[in-house]
Structures are given as C-alpha cells and as structure tokens.
C-alpha cells in the first residue's frame, strides 16, 4: 500500500502503518519542529510544506491519501469559522488533492465539533465533496481511551473508497456488527484521578486517605462531567469544565466527602459546602 500523508505532524500514520509494510510516497507539514523530526526519521521520503502545491503528476499513483486538516475552526473551543476560515477550508483542499492524485482510499480525521459546525452543513459539504469525486464513505467517532491510550480523546474518522461505501464501512466498523451482530461493549475505566496529592497507588488524596484516594473533608468529584478533570477557565455547558475553577474553591460539581447523614441546611454553591461541614483547609467548621 502506497500512501501520501498531509498535515503530517511527526507522522503518527507511518508509525502505525510501517509494521504493515506500507510505504509513504510523500509527507506534507509546515511547522519547523515536526519537519525536523520527519527529515531525521524519514530522510528518503519527499517532504512538502503547503500540501495544496502538490501537483497531479508529481508522483506515481498512490493507494491512499491520509490527513487530519486543522481543527481550530471546527472546535467548540474556537470561534467556529468553519469552512469560511482558511484553516477549515483546508478540508476542501484535501479533497482537491484527492482529485489530483486519484487515490483509491481516503482517511480524514478531525474533532467532533466538525459534526455541528455551521449547523452540520460544513460536514455535509465535506461528505458531499467526496461523493462528487466518486468516493463512497463511512464515518465514526472514536475515543482513544478505548484503544490503549490513557486519555479521553474523541475524534471523527472518515474513510472513503472510490466507488463503494461498503468497503469503507468494512474498514471503519467491526465486521460482525455489519452482519447484524453488535460488537462487544467496551468499558471505560472506572478510576478517578487523584484530588490533592499524587500517590503511587489508589489515586491522590490527603492525610488519612485510604487506598481509594478518599478522605473525609477532601474534595471528591461526583456525577457527570466530574469524572474527568475540568478545563481551567472554560465555560460550563459548551465546554467540559467549570467557570474559573479553583482547586481551593471548588464548584457546584465538587463537594466535600462526608460520612453519615448531612444536615439539610443552607447550601453554599460558591464553595460547595453546607453549614456545619469542616473546611478541609482551615480545619474550621463552616458557618
């Protein structure tokens, strides 16, 4: 399998595909540090800057074109310019390069925010462009935490194949699920990240914490989305996190661990405590 890679970074695709015997025809990357890494590890592979300059007859036929074009204009953390943004428009330039190279297969990756960008019309335009070029396609959101990576990292993967969506789907989905048999359910890890200090086992916690990292009076995350670390200074709702989250102040989703019954008294939403609780830092009773 001969492939071309654009927006290559330090070339994760080649790390994955080299054991399969697949060969790169070219890379494309504009940032200086990744370019230096690529030149060091793959000196025999042509390295481009701007992939839009790659011509139709510059290389022989390739079997696959892969790339994760810039995500900033699609991400919910950005201004969401979509395809009107120069960076977002590179998704369409990726399709134009596919048209020039006539690769049999396409693999395109981006953030899940692309699904809702411009009310879904941007993603529809990208898929529609594949269809106009003769590619059948399948797409799926995959999360790195289910593939051996200790990180929650969701990404949209689109696989295209010249002439047939069934072959694209066979690559992207488990074959037994395409036959009407659901794949075995993958389970996310149940552990919770440590709270205040690192421990060799059992997560974090403070003095007196048990093996589960919990100790009376120390902040423990409860309910969704507190099963993951909040994003600093991220607005709750459109982004996973708490507004101006501070480790000493906590927030509505972080409450002191308590044993026994908690009196039904006034709740202080700012600090996540109730009257009568012990402040874990001052060791004084909240009034």
Strand, coil or helix: 90: helix
In this prediction, residue 183 carries a pLDDT of 57
Q: Residue 99: is its pLDDT beyond 50?
A: yes
- Which range of 77-91, 116-130, 193-207 scores highest in mean pLDDT? It is 116-130
Q: Residue 209: is its pLDDT beyond 80?
A: no
Rounded to an integer, the average pLDDT of 67-79 is: 88
Q: Residue 279: is its pLDDT beyond 90?
A: no
What CATH number labels 2-178?
3.40.50.150
Confidence of residue 77 (pLDDT cuts 50, 70, 90): confident
Question: 130 versus 150: which is more confidently predicted?
Answer: 130
Average the pLDDT over each of 13-17, 119-123, 196-200 and give the range with the smallest value.
196-200
Phi/psi at 140 (5° precision): -160, 145
In this prediction, residue 266 carries a pLDDT of 41
Determine how β-strand 219-221 pairs with β-strand 135-143. unpaired
CA distances from 46 to 31, 42, 97, 146, 268 (A): 15, 9, 16, 34, 61
Q: Residue 141: is its pLDDT beyond 70?
A: yes
Which residues, other chains included, contact 278 with Cβ-Cβ below 8 Å and sequence gap of 6+?
A: 217, 256, 284, 285, 286
Confidence of residue 136 (pLDDT cuts 50, 70, 90): very high
In this prediction, residue 184 carries a pLDDT of 61
Q: Residue 112: is its pLDDT beyond 80?
A: yes
Q: Residue 80: is its pLDDT beyond 90?
A: no
Whether 97 and 65 have beta carbons less than 8 Å apart is answered as yes
Whether 156 and 113 have beta carbons less than 8 Å apart is answered as no
Q: In whole angstroms, what is the distance from residue 97 CA to residue 21 CA?
A: 24
Q: Residue 259: is its pLDDT beyond 90?
A: no
From 62, 71, 215, 226, active-site residue: 71
Other CB atoms within a 10 A radius of the CB of residue 192 amount to 18
Q: Residue 253: is its pLDDT beyond 60?
A: no
CA distances from 131 to 2, 141, 215, 225 (A): 23, 20, 57, 37
Start and end residues for every CATH 3.40.50.150 domain found in the chain: 2-178
In this prediction, residue 32 carries a pLDDT of 95
Whether 220 and 180 have beta carbons less than 8 Å apart is answered as no
Q: Residue 22: is its pLDDT beyond 60?
A: yes
Phi/psi at 14 (5° precision): -70, -40
Question: 196 versus 64: which is more confidently predicted?
Answer: 64
Q: Residue 173: is its pLDDT beyond 60?
A: yes
Sign of CA dihedral 172, 175, 178, 183: negative
Alpha helices in the chain (DSSP H): 12-17, 32-41, 86-101, 121-132, 165-172, 175-178
Average per-residue pLDDT for the chain: 75
Is 7 designated active site? no
């Amino acid at each position: 399998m001969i492939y071309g890679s654009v927006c290559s970074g330090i070339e994760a695709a080649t790390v994955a595909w080299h054991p399969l015997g697949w060969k790169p025809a070219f890379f494309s990357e504009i940032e200086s540090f990744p370019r230096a890494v690529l030149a060091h590890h793959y000196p025999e592979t042509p390295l481009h800057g701007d992939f839009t300059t790659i011509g139709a007859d510059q290389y022989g036929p390739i079997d696959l074109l892969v790339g994760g074009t810039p995500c900033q204009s699609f991400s919910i953390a950005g201004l969401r310019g979509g395809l009107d943004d120069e960076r977002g428009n590179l998704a369409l330039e990726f399709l134009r390069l596919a048209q020039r190279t006539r690769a049999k297969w396409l693999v395109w990756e981006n953030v899940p925010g692309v699904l809702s960008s411009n009310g879904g019309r941007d993603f529809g335009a990208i898929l529609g462009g594949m269809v106009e070029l003769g590619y059948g396609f399948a797409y799926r959101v995959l999360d790195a935490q289910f593939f051996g990576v200790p990180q929650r990292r969701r990404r949209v993967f689109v696989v295209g194949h010249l002439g047939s969506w069934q072959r694209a789907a066979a690559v992207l989905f488990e074959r037994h699920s395409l036959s009407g048999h659901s794949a075995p359910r993958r389970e996310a890890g149940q552990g919770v990240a440590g709270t205040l200090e690192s421990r060799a086992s059992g997560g974090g916690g403070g003095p007196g914490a048990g093996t589960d990292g919990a100790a009376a009076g120390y902040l423990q995350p409860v309910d969704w989305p507190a099963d993951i670390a909040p994003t600093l200074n991220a607005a709750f709702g459109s982004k996973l996190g708490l507004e101006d989250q501070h480790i000493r102040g906590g927030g509505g989703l972080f409450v002191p661990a308590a044993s026994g019954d908690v009196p039904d008294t006034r709740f202080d939403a700012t600090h996540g405590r109730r009257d009568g609780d012990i402040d874990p830092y001052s060791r004084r009773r909240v009034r």
